[in-house]
Amino acid sequence: MIFRLCALVASLAAMAPIPALAQAERTAAETQIKAAFLYKFSAFVEWPPKAFARPDSPFTIGVIGADELAADLEQIVKGRTVLERAVVVRRMRRGEPLAGIQMLFIGQAEAARLAEILAIAKGQSVLTVTESEDALSRGSMINFVFVDDKVRFDVALPEAERGLLKISARLLAVARKVVTSS
Amino acid sequence: MRLATSFSVRQKLLAVVLLTTLTALLVAIAVMVGFDLRNYRQSLISDMTTQADLLGRTTAPALTFDDPRVAQENLELLRYRPQIRAAAIYNARGKMFASYSNKDGGEFPRLPEADGTRIEGNELVLFKRVLGNREILGTVYLRADYELYDRLVGYLGIAAVVAAIAMLVAYVLSRRLQQIVTSPLLAIADVAREVTEKRAFSLRAPKLSKDEIGMLAESFNTMLAEIERATRDLQASNEVLGREIAEHNRAEQEILRLNTELEQRVKERTAQLEFTNGELEAFCYSVSHDLRAPLRAIDGFSQALLEDFPKDVPEEAQRYLARIRSSTQRMGQLIEDLLNLSRVSRGGLERRDADISELARQVVTELQNREPQRKVDISIWDGMRANADSRLLRAALENLIGNAWKFSSKTDKPRIEIGSLSNDGRAVFYVRDNGAGFDMAYANKLFGAFQRLHSGNEYQGTGIGLATVQRIVHRHGGRIWADAKPGKGAAFYFTLESDGVEKAGRDMAEAQA
Mean pLDDT of chain B: 85
- Check B93 against A44: CB less than 8 A apart: no
* Residue in A6, A8, A9 to test binding to B, most B beta-carbons within 10 Å: A9
- B326-337 average pLDDT score: 84
- B46-65 average pLDDT score: 90
Query: What span, in angstroms and rounded, lies between the C-alpha atoms of B458 and B442?
Result: 18
Question: Which domain does A117 fall in, by range?
Answer: 30-179
Q: Which of A6, A43, A174 sits opposite B92 (nearest CB)?
A: A6
Query: Which residues of chain A have a CB within 8 Å of the CB of B135?
Result: 2, 5-6, 9
Asked whether the predicted pLDDT for residue A9 surpasses 50, the reply is no
- Check A170 against B58: CB less than 8 A apart: yes
- Check B57 against A170: CB less than 8 A apart: yes
- Check B92 against A43: CB less than 8 A apart: no
Q: Which of B58, B65, B92 sits opposite A40 (nearest CB)?
A: B65
Chain A residue with the nearest C-alpha to that of B67: A174
Distance from CA of A99 to the nearest CA of B (A): 26
More confident call, B106 vs B144: B144
**pLDDT score of A145:** 92
Mean pLDDT of chain A: 84
B203 and B224 Cβ atoms separated by less than 8 Å: yes
- B116-135 average pLDDT score: 87
Query: What span, in angstroms and rounded, lies between the C-alpha atoms of B257 and A75?
Result: 159
Distance from CA of B68 to the nearest CA of A (A): 9
The amino acid at residue A118 is L
Collapsed DSSP state (helix, strand, coil) of residue B437: coil
Closest by CA to A5, choosing from B141, B133, B110, is B133
* Residue in B55, B65, B69, B76 to test binding to A, most A beta-carbons within 10 Å: B65
Closest by CA to A144, choosing from A17, A15, A36, is A36
Query: Which residues of chain A have a CB within 8 Å of the CB of B58?
Result: 170, 173
Query: What span, in angstroms and rounded, lies between the C-alpha atoms of B505 and B493?
Result: 8
Query: What span, in angstroms and rounded, lies between the C-alpha atoms of B89 and B77?
Result: 14
More confident call, A25 vs B153: B153
Asked whether the predicted pLDDT for residue A15 surpasses 80, the reply is no
Chain B residue with the nearest C-alpha to that of A44: B61
Query: Which residues of chain A have a CB within 8 Å of the CB of B91?
Result: 13
Least confident window among B126-140, B198-212, B379-393: B198-212
Distance from CA of A65 to the nearest CA of B (A): 23
Query: Which residues of chain B have a CB within 8 Å of the CB of A37?
Result: 65
B484 and B437 Cβ atoms separated by less than 8 Å: yes
Domain count, chain A: 1
Q: Which of A6, A150, A174 sits opposite B61 (nearest CB)?
A: A174
User: Quick check: is A16 in a domain?
Assistant: no
Closest by CA to B385, choosing from B348, B417, B426, is B426
Query: What span, in angstroms and rounded, lies between the C-alpha atoms of B319 and B313?
Result: 10
A88 and A58 Cβ atoms separated by less than 8 Å: yes
- B213-218 average pLDDT score: 86
Query: What span, in angstroms and rounded, lies between the C-alpha atoms of B191 and B204?
Result: 7
Distance from CA of B59 to the nearest CA of A (A): 8
User: Quick check: is A132 in a domain?
Assistant: yes
Query: Which residues of chain B have a CB within 8 Å of the CB of A171?
Result: 61
Query: Which residues of chain A have a CB within 8 Å of the CB of B65?
Result: 37, 40, 152-153, 174
Give CA torsion, residues B14, B19, B22, B23, to 10 deg.
-150
Which string of DSSP letters, residue by residue, matches B5-44?
Answer: GGS-HHHHHHHHHHHHHHHHHHHHHHHHHHHHHHHHHHHH
The CATH code of the domain that includes A126 is 3.40.50.2300
**pLDDT score of B248:** 94
Q: Is the CB of residue A13 less than 8 Å away from at least one CB of chain B?
A: yes
How does DSSP classify residue B442?
G
- Check A13 against B136: CB less than 8 A apart: no
Q: Is the CB of residue A171 less than 8 Å away from at least one CB of chain B?
A: yes
Asked whether the predicted pLDDT for residue A165 surpasses 60, the reply is yes
Distance from CA of B97 to the nearest CA of A (A): 10
- Check A150 against B66: CB less than 8 A apart: yes
User: Quick check: is A11 in a domain?
Assistant: no
Query: What span, in angstroms and rounded, lies between the C-alpha atoms of B17 and B24?
Result: 10
User: Quick check: is A15 in a domain?
Assistant: no
Query: Which residues of chain B have a CB within 8 Å of the CB of A13?
Result: 66, 91-93, 95
Chain B residue with the nearest C-alpha to that of A81: B133
Query: What span, in angstroms and rounded, lies between the C-alpha atoms of B18 and A145?
Result: 78
Asked whether the predicted pLDDT for residue B338 surpasses 90, the reply is no
Distance from CA of A170 to the nearest CA of B (A): 6
Which string of DSSP letters, residue by residue, matches A22-86?
Answer: -HHHHHHHHHHHHHHHHHHHGGGEE--GGGSSSTTPPEEEEEES-HHHHHHHHHHHTT-EETTEE
User: With bands split at pLDDT 50, 70 and 90, how would you rate the model's confidence at B459?
Assistant: low
More confident call, A7 vs B200: B200
Q: Is the CB of residue A21 less than 8 Å away from at least one CB of chain B?
A: no
CB-defined contacts A:B, below 8 A: 49
Chain B residue with the nearest C-alpha to that of A147: B67
ipTM rounded to 2 decimals: 0.79
Query: Which residues of chain A have a CB within 8 Å of the CB of B137?
Result: 9
Asked whether the predicted pLDDT for residue B481 surpasses 50, the reply is yes
- Check A173 against B61: CB less than 8 A apart: yes
Cα B392–chain centre separation = 57
Q: Is the CB of residue A177 less than 8 Å away from at least one CB of chain B?
A: no
- Check B133 against A43: CB less than 8 A apart: yes
Collapsed DSSP state (helix, strand, coil) of residue A90: strand
Chain B residue with the nearest C-alpha to that of A144: B65
User: Quick check: is A25 in a domain?
Assistant: no
**pLDDT score of B1:** 47
Closest by CA to B305, choosing from B295, B285, B319, is B319
Distance from CA of B94 to the nearest CA of A (A): 9
Q: Is the CB of residue A14 less than 8 Å away from at least one CB of chain B?
A: yes
User: With bands split at pLDDT 50, 70 and 90, how would you rate the model's confidence at A182?
Assistant: low
Which residues of chain B approach chain A closer than 8 Å at the C-beta? 57-58, 60-62, 64-67, 70, 91-93, 95, 132-133, 135-137
Residues 107-146 of A with CB under 8 A from B: none
Give the Cα-Cα-Cα angle A166, A169, A175 (nearest 5 degrees).
105
pLDDT digits (tens, 9 = 90+) for A75-91: 999 888 888 889 999 99
- Name the CA radius of gyration of chain A, rounded: 15
User: Quick check: is A22 in a domain?
Assistant: no
More confident call, B185 vs A16: B185
User: With bands split at pLDDT 50, 70 and 90, how would you rate the model's confidence at B358?
Assistant: very high
User: With bands split at pLDDT 50, 70 and 90, how would you rate the model's confidence at B506?
Assistant: very low
- Its pTM stands at 0.49
